[in-house]
């Protein structure tokens, strides 16, 4: 078994998006109920959250944007953009989301835990340097990547994003940075409209952004193939010091926003692929952070499957990967070939 840490804090519920918003506190309520249940209780090390500092936020975000969010503190709820709400406590909760993830990566790098999952909100991967987007206020995972470089002397960080939606904010944060490899699978065409195969990075960072846009209907096996045939060989050549994961559970087969066909076992399988990769390239250093996922029952069961895989309590993912594969999806064949054709200029990938 592995020692797996979790970040959980009831203060994350204080980010109030309104009664009918899909990114609501109910998402964490069902997850926290699951980790408190008898079959899960006391199996994970609790990592306390903290407030990120202004300096840490400004590694990624513009000062005027930080000040805009700070100005909402204690004020009546307002929309930051079409999708994203700031309630009186959202500024503090957003700082707590970033700080919770930073404490988690601290615990992994210091050897206190083997890996971990930050069960936090608001999510972050859509947040741009100067604006909110897609329910996201601060870009939690982008700040964590900078933290690993600036405070933990990590030279190279891999960010993997399996959310239904492309992580535009994360991509743009590192589009000219060859110390960060950003890999995304996402439904396309779909919000936010970024993540084309040919979006590969600028100048010396060309090839350090790898986008795999997918049509609806992709299954566990389809995602496994993409990760095994594209991500793993590229990541091994990149050889990161740490792996961060934007885990969106809106690729779940019953998610109201998505059209993918991934099951709980599929999420466990993706986790196992990343654990095996981390074991090979960076001594297992792996931290996952919560992004999307809006079917509450599916979110709860899928997060549970990921946690069990991380801690090696119930290795459904390993079992799912060992199953005999069915007929190949011709669309996935085509997208794998197209991604390889673009990326083979930068990586040895057949």
Task: List pLDDT tens digits, range 266-314.
Answer: 999 999 999 999 999 999 999 999 999 999 999 999 999 999 999 999 8
Domains of the chain: 4-343 (3.40.800.20)
Task: List pLDDT tens digits, range 37-83.
Answer: 999 999 999 999 999 999 999 999 999 999 999 999 999 999 999 99
| Percent of the chain scoring above 70 in pLDDT | 100
Give the whole-angstrom CA distance, residue 209 versus residue 158.
10
Confidence grade of residue 323 (pLDDT, cut at 50, 70, 90): confident
Residue 56: the pLDDT is: 99
Q: ∠ CA(245), CA(249), CA(250), 5° rounding?
A: 125
> Cβ-count burial of 145 within 10 angstroms (0-12 exposed, 13-18 middle, 19+ buried)?
buried
Q: How far is CA 120 from CA 15, 27, 124, 144, 281, in A?
A: 11, 10, 10, 14, 27
Q: How far is CA 223 from CA 160, 230, 340, 344, in A?
A: 13, 10, 15, 20
- The whole-number average pLDDT for the span 162-166 is 99
pTM for the structure as a whole: 0.98
Residue 92: the pLDDT is: 99
The encoded tokens of residue 316 equal 């459904």
126 is catalytic: yes
> Residue for token digits 């999420």?
267
Checking if the pLDDT of 327 tops 80, the result is no
> Residue for token digits 């779940």?
252
Confidence grade of residue 256 (pLDDT, cut at 50, 70, 90): very high
Confidence grade of residue 326 (pLDDT, cut at 50, 70, 90): confident
Residue 184: the pLDDT is: 99
Catalytic-role residue among 126, 165, 172, 186? 126
Other Cβ atoms less than 10 A from the Cβ of 319: the count is 13
């Amino acid at each position: 078994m592995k020692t797996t840490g979790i970040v959980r804090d009831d203060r994350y519920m204080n980010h109030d998006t309104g009664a009918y918003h899909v990114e609501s506190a109910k998402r964490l309520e069902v997850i926290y109920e699951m980790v408190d249940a008898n079959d899960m209780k006391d199996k994970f090390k609790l990592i306390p959250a903290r407030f990120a500092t202004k300096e840490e936020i400004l590694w990624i975000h513009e000062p005027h944007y930080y000040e805009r969010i700070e100005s909402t503190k204690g004020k009546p709820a307002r929309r930051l953009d079409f999708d994203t709400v700031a309630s009186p406590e959202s500024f503090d909760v957003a700082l707590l989301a970033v700080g919770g993830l930073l404490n988690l990566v601290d615990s992994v790098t210091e050897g206190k835990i083997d890996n971990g999952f930050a069960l936090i909100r608001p999510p972050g991967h859509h947040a741009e340097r100067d604006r909110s987007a897609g329910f996201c206020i601060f870009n939690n995972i982008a700040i964590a990547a900078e933290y690993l470089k600036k405070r933990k002397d990590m030279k190279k960080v891999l960010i993997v994003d399996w959310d239904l939606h492309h992580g535009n904010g994360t991509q743009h944060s590192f589009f000219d940075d060859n110390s960060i490899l950003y890999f995304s699978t996402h439904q396309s065409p779909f919000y936010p409209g970024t993540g084309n195969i040919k979006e590969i990075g600028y100048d010396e960072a060309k090839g350090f952004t790898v986008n795999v846009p997918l049509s609806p209907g992709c299954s566990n096996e389809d995602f496994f193939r993409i990760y095994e045939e594209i991500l793993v060989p590229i990541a091994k050549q990149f050889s990161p010091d740490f792996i961060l994961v934007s885990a969106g559970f809106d690729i779940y087969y019953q998610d109201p926003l998505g059209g993918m066909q991934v099951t709980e076992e599929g999420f466990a399988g993706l986790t196992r692929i990343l654990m095996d990769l981390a074991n090979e390239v960076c001594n297992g250093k792996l931290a996952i952070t919560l992004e999307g996922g809006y079917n509450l029952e599916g979110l709860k069961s899928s997060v549970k499957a990921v946690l069990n895989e991380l801690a090696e309590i119930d290795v459904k993912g390993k079992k799912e990967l060992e199953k005999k594969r069915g007929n190949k999806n011709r669309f996935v064949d085509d997208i794998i070939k197209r991604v390889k054709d673009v990326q083979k200029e930068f990586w040895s990938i057949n």
